[in-house]
Structure 1
Amino acid sequence: MTASADQRPVPSSTDGEPRADTFPRLLHALADERPGDVAMQEKLYGIWQPITWSEYARRVTDFAHGLAALGVEQGEVVAVIGDNRPEWLIAELATQSIGAAVVGIYPTSIGEEIVHILTDARVRVVVAEDQEQVDKIIRLKDRLPSVHTVVYYDPHGLEQYHEPYLRAFTDVEESGQDWGAQHPAWLAERIAAGSPDEIAVICTTSGTTARPKLAELSHTNLLAMAENLQRIDPLTRHDRYVSFLPFAWIGEQMLAVACGLSRGFTLSFPEDAATQRADLREIGPDVMFSPPRIWESMLSDVQVRIEEADRLKQAVFGWGYRVGDRYAERRVRGERPGTWLRLVHRVADAVALRPVRDQLGLTRLKRGYTGGAPLGPDVFRFFHAIGVNLKQIYGQTEICGIAVAHTDTDVRFHTVGTPLPGTELHIAEDGEILLRSASVFRGYHRNPESTAETVDQEGWLRTGDAGYTEDGHLVVIDRAKDVRRTADGQLFSSAFVENKVKFSPYVEEAVVFGGESGSDVTAMIIIDPATTGAWAEHQHISYTTYTDLAAKEPVYRLIAGAVARANEDLPESTRIRRFVLLHKQLDPDDDEITRTRKVRRGVIAERYADIISALDRGEAEVVVGSTITYQDGTVVDRKTPLRIFPMSEFAGDDSTGTATLWGDRR
Structure 2
Amino acid sequence: MAHGRERPNKPAFREKYLGIWQTWNWSQVNEEVRALACGLAALGFQRGMNLAIIGDNRPRLYWAMLAAQCLGGVPVPLYQDAPAADMSYVLENAEIKYAIVEDQEQVDKLLELIGCCPDIAHIAYEDERGMRNYTHKELISYAKLQELGRDYDKSHPGFYESTIATGMECDNAIILYTSGTTGKPKGVCQTHKALIAAATGGIGFDKLSDEENVLSYLPMAWVGDCLFSFAQAMVAGFTVNCPESSDTVTTDMREIGPSYYFAPPRIFENMLTQVMIRMEDAGAIKRKMFHHYMEVARRCGADILNGKHVPLGDRIEYAIGNVLVYGPLKNVLGLSRVRVAYTAGAAIGPDLFKFYRSIGVNLKQFYGSTETCAYICFQPDGKIKFDSVGLPAPGVEVKLAANGEVLVKSPTLMDCYYKRPDATSEAIDGEGYFHTGDAGFFDNDGHLKIIDRAADVGKMNNGSMFAPNYIENKLKFFPFIKEAVSFGNQRDQVCAFINIDMEAVGNWAERRGIAYSGYTDLAANRQVYELVKECVEKVNADLAGEALMGDTQVHRFLVLHKELDPDDDELTRTRKVRRRFIADKYAVLIDALYGGKPSQYIETQVKFEDGRTGVVSADLKIWDSKTFPVVTRQAA
Q: Please state which band the TM-score falls in when normalised by the shorter chain.
A: over 0.9
Note the 1:169-318 alignment, pairs <5 A.
169-318=142-291
Structure 1 residue 514 displacement after superposition: 2.1
Q: Distance in 2 between matches of 1:307 and 1:632?
A: 36
- Aligned twin of 1:23: none
Deviation at 1:631?
12
Relative to structure 1, the CA distance from residue 152 to residue 484 in structure 2 (aligned partners, 3 Å threshold; closer, same or farther) is same
Matched with 2:469 is 495
TM-superposed CA distance for 1:321, in Å, is 1.6
Any conservation in 2 of the 1:332–1:412 contact (CA below 8 Å)?
A: no
The residue number in structure 1 matching 2:13 is 40
1:341 maps to 314
Q: Distance in 2 between matches of 1:628 and 1:418?
A: 43
Aligned length: 623
SS of equivalent to 2:455: helix
Runs of 4+ in 1 over 4 A off after TM superposition: 627-638
Between the aligned partners of 1:235 and 1:549, the Cα distance in structure 2 is: 46
Match of 1:387 in 2: 360
The answer for unaligned runs of 5 or more in structure 1 is 1-27, 653-666
Check 1:509–1:517 CA distance in 2 against 1; reply closer, same or farther (3 A cut).
closer
Shift, 1:630, TM fit: 9.9
Corresponding residue for residue 551 of structure 1: 524
Residue of structure 2 equivalent to 1:14: none
Is the contact made by 2:53 and 2:76 (CA closer than 8 Å) also made in structure 1? yes
Aligned-partner Cα distance in 1 for 2:83–2:284: 47
Structure 2 residue 558 is matched with structure 1 residue 580? yes
**Structure 2 Cα separation of the partners of residues 529 and 596 of structure 1:** 19
Show the 5 A alignment for 1:589-600. Answer: 589-600=567-578
What CA deviation, in whole Å up to 9, does each residue of 1:408-434 have, x standing for no partner?
101111111111111111011111001
1:151 counterpart = 2:124: yes
Give, in whole Å, the separation in 2 of the partners of 1:324 and 1:634: 49
For residue 585 of structure 2, the aligned residue among 587, 598, 607 is 607
Distance, in Å, in 2 between the alignment partners of 1:340 and 1:512 is 43
Q: 1:131 to 1:333 in 2, by over 3 A?
A: same
Q: What amino acid is aligned across from residue 603 of structure 2 in structure 1?
A: G
Distance 1:239 1:397 in 2: 24
Please give the secondary structure, in 1, of the residue aligned with 2:124.
strand
- How far apart are 1:280 and its partner, in Å? 0.2
Residue equivalent to 2:632: none
Q: Which letter maps to 1:133?
A: Q
| Cα separation, 1, equivalents of 2:301 and 2:321 | 13
Residue among 482, 487, 490 paired with 2:456? 482
**Structure 2 letter corresponding to 1:217:** Q
Q: For residue 90 of structure 1, what is the aligned residue in structure 2? A: 63
**Residues 332 and 408 of structure 1 are in contact (CA less than 8 Å); yes or no, is this contact kept in structure 2?**
no
For 1:276 and 1:633, the matched residues in 2 are separated by 27
Task: Point out where structure 2 has 5 or more consecutive residues left out of the alignment.
Answer: 545-549, 630-636
**Of the candidates 483, 486, 496, which is equivalent to residue 512 of structure 1?**
486
The counterpart of 1:429, out of the listed 393, 396, 402, is: 402
Is 1:331–1:409's contact at 8 Å kept on the other side of the alignment? Answer: no
Name the SS of the counterpart of 2:252 in structure 1: helix
Matched, 1:115 2:88: yes
Aligned to 1:659: none
Q: Does 2:385 align with 1:412?
A: yes
Amino acid of the residue matched to residue 513 of structure 1?
F
Q: Decide whether the 8 Å contact of 1:221 with 1:439 is kept in 2.
A: yes
Query: For residues 257 and 240 of structure 1, what CA distance do their matches in structure 2 show?
Result: 12
* Matched residue type, 1:611: L
Q: For the Cα contact (< 8 Å) 1:231–1:421, is it kept in 2?
A: no
How far the C-alpha of 1:515 sits from its partner, in A, is 4.3
Which range is displaced more, 507-516 or 636-645?
636-645
> How big is the shift at 1:637?
5.8
Rounded Cα–Cα distance in structure 1 between residues aligned with 2:578 and 2:615: 25
Code of the aligned partner of 1:490: S
- Alignment CA distance shift 1:331-1:443 (3 Å): farther
d(CA) in 2 for partners of 1:633, 1:231: 46
1:641 aligned residue? 619
TM-score normalised by the chain length of structure 1 = 0.91
With over 3 angstroms needed to count, the CA separation of the structure-2 counterparts of 1:638 and 1:397, relative to structure 1, is closer
Q: CA 1:651–1:227 in 2, change beyond 3 Å: closer, same or farther?
A: closer
Q: The residue matched to 1:569 in structure 2 has which SS?
A: helix
Residue 634 of structure 2 corresponds to none
1:33-64 Cα shifts (integer Å, max 9, x gaps) = 12122111111111111111111010100110
State the distance in 1 between where 2:564 and 2:294 align: 33
CA contact (8 A) 1:515 1:574 kept: no
Matching residue of 2:596 = 618
1:10 is aligned to none
**Secondary structure, counterpart of 1:481 in structure 2:** coil
> Deviation at 1:112?
3.3
Give the superposition deviation at 1:635: 8.6
SS in 2 for 1:438: coil
Q: Secondary structure of 2:205's match?
A: coil
TM-score where L is the length of structure 2:
0.95
1:531-546 alignment runs, 5 A limit:
531-546=504-519
Superposition RMSD on alpha carbons, in Å? 1.9
| Paired residue type of 1:134 | V
Partner of residue 456 from structure 1, selected from 405, 429, 435: 429
One-letter amino acid of the counterpart of residue 503, structure 1: F
Distance in 2 of aligned mates of 1:314 and 1:68: 61
What SS is found at the alignment partner of 2:485? strand
Q: Residue in 2 aligned with 1:103? A: 76
Q: Quote the residue 1:401 is aligned against.
A: 374
Change in Cα spacing, 1:226 to 1:629, as seen in structure 2 (3 Å) is closer
